[in-house]
Structure formats: C-alpha cells, structure tokens
C-alpha cells in the first residue's frame, strides 16, 4: 500500500519508483520526512512525489488542487469569455485552498454541507458545479462518478428584480453631486447611463467615433471587462444602436473631445469598474443613497422608459439590448408600479360609482 498508518499514529507515504523497481519513501524523492501527522498530508506528499517522477495520478487520486490548476489553465476547459474564466477562478479559489489536498473523488455531500454551512459560500456554487461537471466529463477522464454540487435545490437570488430604482429627483441629485465631487467625465458618465440604459462596461469602452450627433445615435459595438481587463463584444454578443436622448446628448456635449474615449479619468484613460467605484462611493454618500451604480443608471433607465414615458416593453428591451422581446422588462419593471395600477382601479370605480349609485338601482332610499 502506498499510504499506510504506522503504530505511532502517523501516516507513511510511498511511491513506485520504476528506476529501482519498488516502492520508496516519498522523502527520498521530494525530501523531508516519509511520514505525516494526517492521511491527507501523506496523500498530498505522494502526489508531489509522483509528479516529480513524471507519473500521472490515478483517476481516483487526483486532488482538488491538481484538477483546479488544470481546470483554470487548460484551454480544454475554458469558456468563450475571459471574464467568465476569471470569475470561475475567483469563485473556486477559496474552496481549493481549503480542500486542495483532498482527492476529487472524496468530496462528498458532507463536504459540500460543511462548505455551505451558514450560507456565506452560496455564491460559489455555480462555479464549483461547473468545475465538478467538467471533472465528471469524458474530456477530463471521468475523474469522479457524480457531481456533489449538482441538484442542491438552492434558489437563485432575486437580485435586482425587487429593488426599486431611485426616482428621477434622486437621480438628478446624484448627477449634481457627481459634478461637485468628481471630474466632469464621471458626472457625464452617470447622466448618459441613466438616460440611455447603457451598461457601465459599454460606457467604459465608448469612443467618440461611435457617437453620431447628427443622426442622434450611439453605436454600441464593444464593452470593457474590468475582470478580464480586455475589450469584448457587448453582452449577448450583439452590437446595437441606442437613441442619443437629450439628457445624454447634453452630457456628451459638455465634454472635451481631445481623447479617444468619451469618458476618461484624470490620466486620460477610459474608466474601469474599480476607478468608478471610488467616485461612486463619494457621490452616493453625498446624496444619501445606498444603492448600486447599476441600479441608479441602467435599472433606472428601464423603469423610467417603461413607467414614466409609457413605452412598450418591446421598445425598452431593444434600447437596453435585451433579446427576449420585452419579457425581462415586463418582469423587472412591470411590478414596480402596482400602486399606480391600483390607484387607477380605485379612480375608475369611484368615477363609475358617482355616475350610477347602486342603492338607486336596488330601489333603496337615496
């Protein structure tokens, strides 16, 4: 046996050395002791010794750390977008740090329950599910028989679905505070975002040659991913044109056009997520608002177009770059004005009752 427990309670690790035709202590290959306080440490040492000898571990002995290193670097497992790969790597890093020496095949339901205890790691489940799905696939050599992160029945967060965006007056206050506290570029950024619904990454990548002042359009052909640190096609992989609305036009006309990008920081570089976050924190604190930039701009724009301008859901969806024919717009913004709908019902009934009182119809006393 390559791993065995000694009478002392420690664990011995050995590895087959074809040069001498027998098992040898891992210490003779990688240095250090040949026994370890725990079985886990002994197995990890055995894997290091096998790697030093150029031996591939058996499927059932591939550790979480070994596969994670491969999963995050091998093109075989990479997703189309670099930002997705970066997200997956970050979302699985802590799990690997905690269970890296454990063989993939020994990650059980109990391990998953331990990892998710208290609910603080729920956000890692999608990425871990993807990693273990790949480990169970033929392209990985079917390193495990089942994915312990599959079928957990964890409900997805409602996200921004039930968060009401700020009203227009608060958005105006946010823009006014941005003008006072930050450079003009960031204030214009917020104003254009709030009155076009463009995604922050799309505005980070917006260049002056994509703004058609004469025709009244902004052509959205790329976005900047702060996670991947690269320019990519917009979400859904589709370019689109959005209306250069009057507030957005005013904001853009207020900026100098001596740089390639429309919105730049003091160094003349286009905005990125971390750079924007610093300024947004100061702006929203001054306005007494505790929400996200996305909620106060893109989410506000969708709400404003649907509920204030009374535009059709399909029209709003096209402006926002959705591809579902308006279903998401109806889901996100239709419920936000329940109070207005109920008031219209109330007004309609009161108006009708004033015309035809029921007690007169029933023959009751007036």
User: What percent of the chain is modeled with pLDDT above 70?
Assistant: 90
Report the alpha-carbon distance of residue 264 to residue 255 in Å, rounded.
10
Task: Indicate if the pLDDT at residue 61 is higher than 80.
Answer: no
pLDDT of 157 strictly over 60: no
Q: How far apart are CA 162 and CA 334, in angstroms?
A: 11
| pTM of the predicted structure, to 2 decimals | 0.64
User: Whole-angstrom Cα distance, residue 320 to residue 314?
Assistant: 10
Q: Under a CB-based contact definition with an 8 Å cutoff, are residues 243 and 216 in contact? A: yes
Residue 214: Cβ within 10 Å count: 6
For residues 94 and 37, give the distance between their C-alpha atoms in angstroms, rounded to a whole number. 23
Q: Are 333 and 310 in contact (CB under 8 A)?
A: no
- pLDDT tens digits, 90-134: 999 999 999 998 999 899 999 999 999 988 899 899 999 999 999
pLDDT band at residue 168 using 50, 70 and 90 as cut-offs: very high
pLDDT digits (tens, 9 = 90+) for 291-344: 999 999 999 999 999 988 989 999 999 999 998 888 888 888 765 566 667 777
Lowest pLDDT segment from 121-125, 156-160, 176-180: 156-160
Angstrom CA distances, 196 to 46, 210, 250, 281, 316, stand at 58, 14, 12, 22, 10
Contact between 4 and 36 (Cβ < 8 Å): no
pLDDT digits (tens, 9 = 90+) for 255-303: 999 999 999 999 999 999 999 999 999 999 999 999 999 999 999 999 9
SS3 193: helix
CATH of the domain spanning 168-333: 1.10.443.10
pLDDT tens readout for residues 181-202: 999 999 999 999 999 999 999 9
Q: Which residue has the higher pLDDT, 349 or 204?
A: 204
Single out the residue of 86, 64, 43, 75 nearest to residue 135, CA to CA.
64
Q: Is the pLDDT of residue 366 over 60?
A: no
pLDDT(17) > 50: yes
């Amino acid at each position: 046996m390559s791993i065995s427990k000694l009478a002392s309670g420690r664990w011995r690790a050995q590895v087959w050395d074809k040069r001498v035709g027998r098992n040898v202590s891992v210490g003779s290959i990688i240095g250090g002791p040949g026994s370890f306080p725990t079985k886990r440490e002994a197995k990890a040492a055995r894997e290091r010794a096998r790697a030093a000898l150029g031996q591939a571990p058996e499927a059932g002995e591939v550790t979480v750390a070994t596969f994670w290193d491969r999963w995050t670097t091998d093109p075989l497992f990479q997703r189309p977008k670099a930002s997705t790969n970066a997200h997956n790597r970050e979302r699985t890093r802590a799990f690997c740090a905690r269970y890296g020496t454990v063989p993939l095949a020994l990650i059980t339901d109990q391990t998953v329950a331990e990892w998710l205890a208290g609910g603080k790691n729920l956000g890692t489940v999608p990425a871990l599910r993807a990693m273990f799905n790949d480990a169970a696939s033929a392209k990985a050599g079917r390193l495990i028989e089942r994915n312990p992160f599959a079928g957990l029945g964890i409900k997805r967060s409602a996200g921004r679905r039930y968060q009401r965006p700020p009203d227009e007056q608060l958005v105006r206050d946010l823009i006014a505070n941005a003008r006072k506290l930050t450079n003009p570029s960031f204030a214009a950024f917020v104003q254009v975002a709030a009155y076009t619904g463009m995604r922050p990454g799309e505005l980070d990548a917006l260049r002056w040659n994509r703004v058609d002042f004469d025709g009244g359009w902004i052509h959205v052909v790329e976005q900047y991913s702060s996670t991947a640190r690269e320019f990519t096609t917009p979400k859904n992989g589709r370019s689109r044109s959005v209306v250069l609305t009057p507030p957005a036009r005013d904001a853009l006309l207020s900026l100098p056009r001596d740089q390639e990008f429309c919105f730049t920081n003091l160094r003349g570089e286009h905005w990125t997520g971390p750079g924007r976050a610093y300024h947004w924190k100061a702006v929203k604190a001054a306005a007494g608002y505790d929400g996200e930039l996305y909620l106060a701009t893109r989410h506000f724009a969708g709400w404003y177009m649907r509920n204030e301008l009374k535009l059709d859901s399909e029209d709003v969806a096209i402006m926002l770059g959705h591809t579902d024919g308006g279903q998401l717009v109806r889901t996100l913004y239709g419920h936000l004005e329940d109070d207005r709908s109920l008031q219209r019902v109330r007004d309609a009934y009161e108006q009708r009752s004033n015309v035809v009182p029921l007690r007169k119809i029933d023959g009751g006393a007036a």
